[in-house]
């Protein structure tokens, strides 16, 4: 294969991968945005209501995927309507920041 084609392939690959990792999430911004989440998921990410999920220590990418799925109305059942309403007002940066914040918390709530 020609060097030109290898170079194009590498540039194409980098162009599709680098933007996904170029922006680092800001856990402090997520903490500031998390006040409304605390009503159900607790101030320290440990759910205040039985049956609601704990967010503290959760996998960051899982949280991003879950929030985006709620925002896009791809999750249903349970309290999905509530979460859809909450997620609709979040930007992609907000979602990344919230996920960074909750994943940084100790899974036991800091006990």
Q: Say how many domains are in the chain.
A: 1
What's the count of helices (H) and strands (E) in the chain, helices before strands? 6, 0
Whether 4 is in a domain gets the answer: no
Report CA dihedral (63, 64, 65, 70) to the nearest 10 degrees: 90
Residue by residue, pLDDT tens for the chain (111 residues) are 555 544 454 444 445 444 444 468 999 999 999 999 999 999 999 998 999 999 999 999 999 999 999 999 999 988 999 999 999 999 999 999 999 999 999 999 887
Whether 31 is in a domain gets the answer: yes
pTM exceeds 0.75 for this model: yes
Kindly state the tokens that stand for 79: 């309290």
Question: Residue 86 is part of a domain; what is its CATH number?
Answer: 1.10.760.10
Whether 54 is in a domain gets the answer: yes
Q: Cα(59)–Cα(7) distance, rounded to whole angstroms? A: 35
Range of the structural domain that residue 51 is part of: 25-104
Helix or strand or coil: residue 76?
Answer: coil
Whether 9 is in a domain gets the answer: no
Element (H, E) at 22: helix 3-22
Whether 109 is in a domain gets the answer: no
């Amino acid at each position: 294969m020609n060097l030109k084609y290898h170079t194009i392939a590498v540039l194409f690959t980098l162009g599709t991968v680098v933007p996904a990792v170029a922006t680092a999430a800001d856990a402090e911004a997520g903490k500031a945005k998390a006040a409304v989440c605390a009503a159900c998921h607790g101030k320290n990410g440990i759910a205040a209501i039985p049956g609601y999920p704990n967010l503290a220590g959760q996998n960051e990418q899982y949280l991003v995927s879950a929030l985006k799925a709620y925002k896009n109305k791809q999750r249903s059942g349970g309290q999905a309507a509530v979460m859809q309403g909450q997620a609709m007002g979040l930007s992609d940066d907000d979602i990344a920041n919230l996920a960074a914040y909750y994943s940084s918390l100790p899974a036991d709530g800091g006990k």
